[in-house]
Amino acid sequence: MNARIWLTGFEPFDHHIENPSQQLVQRLLHTSRTLHVEETATEPAFGPVELTFSGTILSVDEAGSRLSCEHLEGIDAVVHVGLHENSEKIRFEMCATNECNFRIADNSGRQISETTIVESGEPQLYTTVDRHSIANAFSGNDDVILSDDCGRFVCNETYYRTLHSIKDRELGLGAEALPAIFVHIPSFNHIPAESQLDILCTLCAYIVQKF
């Protein structure tokens, strides 16, 4: 099967000179990769899956958080990637919260607290990826955890806007919404870039499957 992935990373922010999410995503943008995924104890094998990556590097501000909502047509999945500077694991974020509460200013100088992202939106929106399948697929990988806290900074803002747009516009096929997930990654000191790249591509292959 062929699958078109809208993939984003972020520019450096705060004191960071580089952003690992930008470095990782730039290696995949405008490329294609073919994956064969082997059977596990809980998930069937599948493949080949040809992944074609489009997307961009987002600015760390409100404009960046909104940009992906303009690119949700003609794709098969959305994967946002951002740096979690305090994590040693790759975090698959299961939900986004309708609140901004910035500990630091974003790259536009905006620092807001207890502010609603979408005025009419629900308090939380959940990933449109099947949690059970992803949990099973990565259950044997110690580098990956599932998280229910995407923070309250621009990462969460971006994720919430994307999920809200998918729900509001009823994007997807039939009863299945367009798959979208946010992935928080640690620095490459904790998990090497090649390992993170492999996990990211495997995730993309799983979320476009119709089991």
* Structural contact between residues 94 and 125, judged by C-beta atoms closer than 8 angstroms: no
pLDDT on residue 174: 62
pLDDT on residue 68: 98
pLDDT on residue 42: 60
Q: Under DSSP, is residue 134 helix (H, G, I), strand (E, B) or coil?
A: helix
Q: What's the token pair of residue 24? A: 């990782």
Q: Under DSSP, is residue 156 helix (H, G, I), strand (E, B) or coil?
A: helix
Spatial neighbors of 57 by CB under 8 A, at least 6 apart, are 8, 9, 10, 11, 22, 25, 26
* Residue located via tokens 């303009």: 70
Tell if the pTM clears 0.85, that is, is over it.
Answer: yes
Q: Under DSSP, is residue 101 helix (H, G, I), strand (E, B) or coil?
A: coil
Low-confidence ranges of the chain (pLDDT < 50): 211
pLDDT on residue 176: 85
